[in-house]
Structure 1
Amino acid sequence: MPDPDQTPARRGRPGYDRDQILEIAVQMFIEQGYEATSVASLAARLGLSKSALYHHFVSKEALLEVALDEALGGLEGVLKDAGDGSARDRLEQVLRGAVLVLVDRLAYVTLLLRVRGNSDVERAALDRRRAFDREVTELVQAAQAEGTVRADVDPSVATRLLFGMVNSIVEWYRPSGGEGGAELARDVLAVALDGLAPAGR
């Protein structure tokens, strides 16, 4: 049996799997912009030929679509998992879950928030974001109707303000900092929902 240290280096493509290629592509899309990132520059960063890259993803658009689905799928899952409690409880769960998704998939959510609708893939992602926002707005309305969220704030404005705060996390949060996702979610809920509490609560 040969000495492992003497085993010849494996020829062919470097040892990137699909997920690793996606992670590096997302970083490049964030650093350089999606439009400015070419398949050739991505292949060069990976040390792959373009044909080897196409073995994993058929196009740059396919990379973007999978990356955006990572973020959107997480957010949509939060809505599905919100349970059957009061509207206020479900709103809390959605906000907490959204923060946890953001922390867990930071690069993917960052990319999603930079989408401007310049392609079919981006427009489809924006449609899904708007659908998510509508469902959260309906939760805010339901919480207002049950008296657990103040009714003098327009529900669509409240949704934008809540997620403006959540989404701003991508600009300053660093995983190496003092707070993890659970602590960050706790802080967001304290600031966000205390401000929406009805008078006297």
Structure 2
Amino acid sequence: MTAAKRDTYTPDTLLSVAVQVFIERGYDGTSMEHLSRAAGISKSSIYHHVSGKEELLRRAVSRALDGLFAILEEPPAREGRAADRLEHVVRRMVEVLITELPYVTLLLRVRGNTDTERWALERRRDFDHQVAELLKAAAADGDVRGDIEVRLATRLVFGMVNSIVEWYRPDSRGADAHEVAEAVSRLVFEGLRRQQT
């Protein structure tokens, strides 16, 4: 290995490589050997910066989760009518998903086989619960349709948003994060909001 190659290596580039390998091979199917080959560095170089692949997984899913939880702290997610707050949260979820696409993709694929995966699933459930509570509050305010059960509506919204990881590719000629967020918001909220008569 050349010194130049070693000089370009950073923990962030290692994390980026690890996420791609985890997505391609699955976390359980990835060894430290796979990671060192993909990064073009020795296993000992990896261990110089992290304790192992589970630490890389935790850093990766933390990045996705931190981005999602930060949405709930934004003023439009905390102030105003529940339906407006919910619409902001859904729009921003799409934007975070696209901005952090590999990290959110990995988060959505964890299965709970390790302590880190179980921790990530628990945090993800907490986020989902907070969004579901917003939907319940919007229903209680009479701002969203009452003829669709709240849990079903929540699952459908999350299903639409989470499915973006399966088809969206930033290098394809297509919509950017803002355009996708606007489209999802229109589809969800023009169908979900109670029609005024």
Same fold (TM over 0.5): yes
Partner SS for 1:174: coil
Match for residue 70 of structure 1 among 55, 63, 71 = 63
Residue 187 (structure 1) aligns with: 183
Structure 2, unaligned runs of 5 or more: none
Contact 1:150 1:198 (C-alpha < 8 Å) held by counterparts: yes
Runs of 4+ with deviation above 6 angstroms: none
Are 1:41 and 2:34 counterparts?
yes
Residue 141 (structure 2) aligns with: 146
- TM-score after normalising by structure 1: 0.91
Deviation of 1:157 (Å): 1.7
d(CA) in 1 for partners of 2:151, 2:63: 25
d(CA) in 2 for partners of 1:84, 1:199: 23
Encode CA deviations 1:60-117: one digit per residue, 9 max, x unaligned.
1000000000111111111121131110110011001100101100000110111111
Aligned-residue RMSD, C-alpha: 1.4
d(CA) in 2 for partners of 1:103, 1:11: 32
d(CA) in 2 for partners of 1:47, 1:100: 32
Residue 61 (structure 1) aligns with: 54
Query: Which of the two has higher C-alpha Rg?
Result: 1
Structure 1, unaligned runs of 5 or more: 1-8
Residue 114 (structure 2) aligns with: 119
Deviation of 1:175 (Å): 1.0
Are 1:165 and 2:167 counterparts?
no
Aligned amino acid, residue 192 of structure 1: V
d(CA) in 2 for partners of 1:105, 1:69: 11
d(CA) in 2 for partners of 1:10, 1:173: 37
Deviation of 1:198 (Å): 1.4
Aligned amino acid, residue 16 of structure 2: E
Deviation of 1:56 (Å): 1.4
Deviation of 1:12 (Å): 7.6
Partner SS for 1:13: helix
Contact 2:145 2:194 (C-alpha < 8 Å) held by counterparts: yes
- TM-score after normalising by structure 2: 0.93
